[in-house]
Structure 1
């Protein structure tokens, strides 16, 4: 799901003009229709759209209340999120945990839901932390999905490929795939997919704490540790598909499905939504390989998606009632029945019907010593949008000038992080 536009929208200032029609709100009159809750949805892809529809219909049947879902194109929703929240937003909207949530809480664009959280069970302390800003809760987590190295099981069996656990073996596999006519799938037209590879190499080379500090602006991008990330990444680049900057994530996922490529660093829904249902059992993955034994494969990127209440919600009471239900195992079970590309966050959710891929994903995350969200979710959105999208794309286009790249990032970082959020 494209974050290029998400980041640009999130980085806009508080004084931005509201959208007249793109992201319209619901509700009748100043107080809204108390019998109806409106939901701003970015789930424009067919699979999640159907799954959310089932979940909201279940709530309507259970509560007798109406849920009006305003589904917008995923990219358009993300691009305009800041103006949307400052204009006439829906009562509830779909968004992301961690820094992505905290950014809007800091700007006063969210309604606190600590009272909703007081009735929750089945959420870990880590999930609560990802839903909290300044000691208060604003976010209800709904599902997560891990990033890993995805591939077709049948292609590995056909070619005799083995899942590597170490970097050198990973590079050797990539080289063999290229020789066999199945290069590593790679894309960055959307501006965010390559961030996952940067994150994993950084986590494997320098550890989770350095990753968090770097994203927080506390480390220098001219540090040798950062330059080593880009230098290590260059080892993989000869074995990528050509033309990454002109390829969307959907197209890269389709290349895996068509056996045109051998593997890809992706989040679980990205290949999952590009494979027909009768081929999804052929999707497999392995954890991003170890580079430095000091850090092993301890960290896993596992973004968390969920719901928030807009500060300008016209029906806060109805919104909170819906959130109380969305935080239950029943609500997650309903959603995941129709979307096998994600994993439930509530411990009480029924996992008996999980696919092999979902079970393996849950095991990967539960065994992780640290969980990161993603580069564009772990740092300031203005830094991610105005600096890191272009910088990584510049690196893909010209991977030789690492010193110049890191110097440029550091200069821009100092400017951005010296300014207050918003």
Structure 2
């Protein structure tokens, strides 16, 4: 099993037919990148194809714009619904994948690299490595010591809220779980749904589990649990679910029928008081309202760990092992690694931060600056549950298990026993 290289604050400061098994899923989804402007050559490296999970409007526009600036080859982007891409990535990479594909750093990258489904890009890193901290390089490196991933953007998870609502109601960010609960209770009294919540897509609830586990049991236990080394029937895991169950009365109801975008819009519309999510929640706010968005890190539960850990997933690009145009693909990855490319992305997408340490952050919004500060102060940074564990365990066990918990939060013991039994069959 692949070993992860965790990002720490110290490291950070140093510096988804054949394609998806269902041809119809991809048919009609492809979009060729805008042609180079008149007088600019299209390049001589042929055609580079890109498999993209950037299906939402803002990230899709961001990728299209960044790729438009790549003139060494003709590019063709095949965009697939984010969740469909992620859930079918294994079949995709074993079928007829595009040359370059969007993916995630750390364990999820290592897992497919170790299976021989990605192309070694260590030579690319020899050219672009100076633009990244060692932490980002670690998260791009396979268990064999070679690099397979180019970091592009990342984003922290926190509890988001509208400043104007909080100012009107006199709310202040809580420092402890007791204060958080008291605040949620006050919001109910004031006629607000305290916590926006959605899990129709399966993955958002993972963020709640992650932060409750790291706040309760610490980063090291969380990482070990994700690696299959701890038992899900351990009392420490049960305590996480007990705590979560105690917060359920404050969650937005009917979460299994709601997307994260809809939950984000409820926050933007001032119907909910706060929302634990990635900074990409800003995509659901009208541009004129984004300055009204702020956040706090999830409060302390266990004083032994305080608020030392957060989720801050890294998104980027890889080259499939079956790439038809490796030379062109590597040139495109070098383009993605350029600070100027990442500056374009973070300028268009208010919910992201540039991975390159050489990127110009002077144009960051106040929210982006706060996000960068939050990450820099974290002692431990996790990549997110479905990125920090085996993809088969995340998709076939944890998604249905967490959705089951959201639907029936009183059935904890039987749920954890089921997770542990399934885990034993996967982590052999």
Question: Which aligned pairs between 1:235-246 and structure 2 lie closer than 5 A?
Answer: 235-246=246-257
Instruction: Report the Cα distance in structure 2 between the residues aligned to 1:391 and 1:245, rounded to whole angstroms.
Output: 12
Alignment of 1:130 onto 2:139: yes
Instruction: Provide the residue aligned with 2:6 in structure 1.
Output: none
Residue in structure 2 matching 1:218, options 196, 208, 229: 229
SS of 1:115's equivalent in the other structure is: helix
Instruction: Report the Cα distance in structure 2 between the residues aligned to 1:216 and 1:299, rounded to whole angstroms.
Output: 17
Alpha-carbon contact 1:301-1:374 (below 8 Å) kept:
yes
Instruction: Report the Cα distance in structure 2 between the residues aligned to 1:286 and 1:182, rounded to whole angstroms.
Output: 19
Question: Which aligned pairs between 1:374-385 and structure 2 lie closer than 5 A?
Answer: 374-385=384-395
Q: Structure 1 stretches (4+) deviating beyond 3 angstroms?
A: 15-27
Instruction: Report the Cα distance in structure 2 between the residues aligned to 1:76 and 1:389, rounded to whole angstroms.
Output: 14
Alpha-carbon contact 1:111-1:311 (below 8 Å) kept:
yes
Alignment of 1:158 onto 2:161: no
Alpha-carbon contact 2:121-2:330 (below 8 Å) kept:
yes
Instruction: Provide the residue aligned with 1:6 in structure 2.
Output: none
Instruction: Report the Cα distance in structure 2 between the residues aligned to 1:379 and 1:365, rounded to whole angstroms.
Output: 21
CA deviation after TM superposition for structure 1 residue 136, in Å: 0.9
CA deviation after TM superposition for structure 1 residue 18, in Å: 4.0
Alpha-carbon contact 1:19-1:84 (below 8 Å) kept:
no
CA deviation after TM superposition for structure 1 residue 75, in Å: 2.8
Alignment of 1:352 onto 2:362: yes
CA deviation after TM superposition for structure 1 residue 34, in Å: 3.6
Deviations 1:326-361 (CA, angstroms, capped at 9, x unpaired): 112111112222112100111110011100000000
> Structure 1 residues 36 and 196 mapped into 2: Cα distance closer, same or farther (>3 Å)?
same
Deviations 1:169-210 (CA, angstroms, capped at 9, x unpaired): 011111111121212111111111111111101001111000
Instruction: Provide the residue aligned with 1:417 in structure 2.
Output: 427
- When structure 1 is superposed on structure 2, of 42-51 and 342-351 the one drifting more is 42-51
Question: Which aligned pairs between 1:181-192 and structure 2 lie closer than 5 A?
Answer: 181-183=191-193, 184-192=195-203
Alpha-carbon contact 1:90-1:313 (below 8 Å) kept:
yes
SS of 2:348's equivalent in the other structure is: coil
> Structure 1 residues 261 and 108 mapped into 2: Cα distance closer, same or farther (>3 Å)?
same
SS of 1:378's equivalent in the other structure is: coil
CA deviation after TM superposition for structure 1 residue 72, in Å: 2.3
Instruction: Report the Cα distance in structure 1 between the residues aligned to 2:20 and 2:175, rounded to whole angstroms.
Output: 50
- When structure 1 is superposed on structure 2, of 405-414 and 347-356 the one drifting more is 405-414
Instruction: Report the Cα distance in structure 2 between the residues aligned to 1:84 and 1:41, rounded to whole angstroms.
Output: 12
Alpha-carbon contact 1:254-1:275 (below 8 Å) kept:
yes
Residue in structure 1 matching 2:376, options 350, 357, 366: 366
Alignment of 1:94 onto 2:102: yes
SS of 1:359's equivalent in the other structure is: helix
- When structure 1 is superposed on structure 2, of 42-51 and 207-216 the one drifting more is 42-51
CA deviation after TM superposition for structure 1 residue 371, in Å: 0.5
Instruction: Provide the residue aligned with 1:109 in structure 2.
Output: 117
- When structure 1 is superposed on structure 2, of 281-290 and 72-81 the one drifting more is 72-81
TM-score normalised to structure 2 length: 0.89
Deviations 1:195-240 (CA, angstroms, capped at 9, x unpaired): 1111101001111000000000000111111011011112211111
Alpha-carbon contact 1:383-1:413 (below 8 Å) kept:
yes
> Structure 1 residues 55 and 26 mapped into 2: Cα distance closer, same or farther (>3 Å)?
closer
Alpha-carbon contact 2:184-2:250 (below 8 Å) kept:
yes
CA RMSD of aligned residues (A): 1.9
Instruction: Provide the residue aligned with 2:50 in structure 1.
Output: 39
SS of 2:186's equivalent in the other structure is: helix
Alpha-carbon contact 1:18-1:86 (below 8 Å) kept:
no
Residue in structure 1 matching 2:244, options 215, 233, 243: 233
Residue in structure 1 matching 2:268, options 257, 280, 289: 257
- When structure 1 is superposed on structure 2, of 81-90 and 111-120 the one drifting more is 81-90
Question: Which aligned pairs between 1:12-411 and structure 2 lie closer than 5 A?
Answer: 18-20=21-23, 22-23=25-26, 34-60=45-71, 63=72, 65-120=73-128, 121-134=130-143, 135-183=145-193, 184-269=195-280, 271-411=281-421
- When structure 1 is superposed on structure 2, of 196-205 and 380-389 the one drifting more is 380-389
- When structure 1 is superposed on structure 2, of 321-330 and 205-214 the one drifting more is 321-330
State how many pairs are aligned: 396
Instruction: Report the Cα distance in structure 1 between the residues aligned to 2:243 and 2:64, rounded to whole angstroms.
Output: 44
SS of 1:263's equivalent in the other structure is: strand
TM-score normalised to structure 1 length: 0.90
